[in-house]
């Protein structure tokens, strides 16, 4: 088998790149380790920057997102019972769109399957060969049979635990990491959201976030211990703890119900440099991870895809490889800004085990500065809606 671009990973990064390239007549093969249903069962991100929305429109798959997504002009931030609003539209002219990763991934799968794209599910033993040569290839096994795909380029879109990043020799690859001493316990429930926008809450008992997927589907998170398991948290215990961490006016009005999904995600900051090795290009979680506090995980994946898509287009249409050569530096310049924002909002809003009284006063001053200072709000808004590509 031969293709122009072999895409490893059928998550949002790989699917979006695949759809954009196919629309331009560039041939792709997509390899996914799991089944479609498994990928769609992962409950993850919910907030899209306008840059991501524009890419979905460019790919011609924004119809449902434009109809069912919710435009949010700002967000609320609370400190115990105090609450204030940061208006993204006032400060940047740009809102964000709330549309779940599950729905977006479903739209991508539907569109790719409708135009006959080759997506190989349930593949094992993916190995990248000769990435530094002019004729790389990828082998995999499916149903016990080994297959080989020869290609011009490989897009490593296989997430944090994939094989692509590991293919880059440790003599070349440099990894930067920070682990946080807590996780987020997330609950999805078929209840109306407590507020029309998101509420990020810092409280004496730890962080909480009130988010949503649609008018009758809420997504809530609380900071939890890394040693907790979702089974340790009954629905009743979750709701009780959430109510203690959000302002009283919302604790009094929140509609609770049975959880339909409950999971714990550890918080991590991670960047791999470079994001290119020969003809292998890393995108999304394969190259970098942010703690979810800034809602940047999926959005940083989208900016990688933007840079790689235009670079591949320039190569295949104009025979100009300068975009591909610049990919890693360009993508990383934006990634580090998103890393900084995600790290700083995590520090501002979470309770760290080692915090002393001075640290707690600093945290309050940080939040009050944001509350009282229009310039600080503008900076927060610019980061939240996404710095330009």
Q: Would you say 186 or 247 has its CB closer to ligand RFL?
A: 186
Nearer to ligand PHB (CB atom), residue 29 or residue 223: 223
**Least distance in angstroms from the C-beta of 199 to ligand RFL:** 15
Binding of residue 69 to ligand PHB (CB under 6 A): no
Among 137, 191, 269, 293, binds ligand PHB (CB under 6 A): 293
Contact partner at residue 132 from ligand PHB, ligand RFL, none, CB < 5 to 8 Å by partner kind: none
The partner in contact with residue 293, picked from ligand RFL, ligand PHB, none with C-beta cut-offs of 5 to 8 angstroms by kind, is ligand PHB
What residues make contact with ligand RFL under the rule CB under 6 A? 8-14, 31-34, 39, 44-45, 101, 123, 126, 157-163, 265, 284-285, 292, 295-298, 301
Segment contacting ligand PHB by CB under 6 A, of 8-16, 42-50, 225-233, 311-319: 42-50
Kindly tell me which of 39 and 45 has the beta carbon lying closer to ligand PHB: 45
- Residue number of the CB atom closest to ligand PHB: 46
> 55 or 209: whose CB is closer to ligand PHB?
209
Site string for ligand PHB, 82-101 (x = CB under 6 A): --------------------
Size of the site for ligand PHB (CB under 6 A): 10
Rank residues 108 and 348 by Cβ distance to ligand RFL and give the closer one.
Answer: 108
Tell which residue, 59, 32, 202, has the closest CA to residue 119: 32
75 pairs with which residues across the strands? 86
Determine which residue in the list 295, 305, 331, 338 makes contact with ligand PHB, applying CB under 6 A.
295
Which x/- pattern, by CB under 6 A, does the window 340-379 give for ligand PHB?
----------------------------------------
Q: Does 211 bind ligand PHB (CB under 6 A)?
A: yes
Q: Decide: is 338 part of the binding site for ligand PHB (CB under 6 A).
A: no
Joined tokens for residue 167:
């293919």
Judged by the rule CB under 6 A, the positions of this chain that interact with ligand PHB are: 45-47, 198, 209, 211, 219, 292-293, 295
């Amino acid at each position: 088998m031969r293709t122009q671009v072999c895409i490893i990973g059928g998550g949002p990064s790989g699917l979006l790149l695949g759809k954009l390239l196919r629309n331009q007549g560039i041939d792709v093969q997509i390899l996914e380790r799991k089944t479609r249903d498994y990928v769609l069962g992962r409950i993850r991100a919910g907030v899209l920057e306008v840059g991501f929305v524009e890419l979905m429109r460019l790919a011609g798959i924004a119809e449902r997102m434009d109809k069912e997504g919710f435009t949010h002009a700002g967000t609320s931030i609370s400190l115990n019972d105090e609450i204030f609003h940061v208006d993204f539209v006032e400060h940047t002219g740009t809102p964000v769109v709330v549309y779940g990763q599950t729905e977006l991934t479903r739209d991508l799968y539907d569109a790719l399957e409708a135009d006959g794209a080759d997506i190989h599910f349930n593949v094992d033993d993916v190995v990248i060969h000769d990435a530094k040569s002019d004729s790389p290839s990828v082998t995999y096994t499916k149903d016990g049979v080994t297959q080989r795909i020869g290609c011009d380029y490989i897009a490593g879109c296989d997430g944090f635990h994939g094989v692509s990043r590991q293919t880059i020799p440790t003599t070349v690859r440099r990894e930067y990491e920070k682990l946080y001493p807590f996780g987020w316990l997330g609950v999805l429930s078929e209840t109306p959201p407590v507020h029309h926008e998101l509420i990020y809450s810092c409280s004496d008992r730890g962080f909480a976030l009130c988010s949503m997927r649609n008018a009758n589907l809420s997504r809530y998170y609380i900071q939890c211990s890394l040693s907790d398991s979702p089974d340790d948290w009954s629905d009743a215990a979750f709701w009780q703890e959430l109510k203690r961490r959000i302002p009283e006016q919302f604790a009094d009005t929140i509609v609770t119900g049975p959880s339909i999904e409950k999971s714990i995600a550890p918080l991590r900051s991670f960047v791999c440099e470079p994001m290119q090795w020969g003809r292998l290009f890393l995108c999304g979680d394969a190259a970098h991870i942010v703690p979810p506090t800034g809602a940047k995980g999926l959005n940083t994946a989208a900016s990688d895809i933007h840079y790689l898509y235009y670079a591949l287009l320039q190569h295949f249409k104009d025979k100009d490889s300068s975009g591909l050569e610049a990919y890693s530096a360009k993508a990383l310049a934006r990634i580090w800004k998103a890393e900084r924002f995600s790290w700083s909002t995590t520090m501002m809003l979470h309770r760290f085990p080692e915090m002393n009284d001075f640290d707690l006063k600093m945290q309050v001053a940080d939040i009050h500065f944001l509350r009282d200072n229009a310039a600080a709000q503008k900076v927060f808004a610019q980061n939240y809606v996404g710095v330009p590509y």
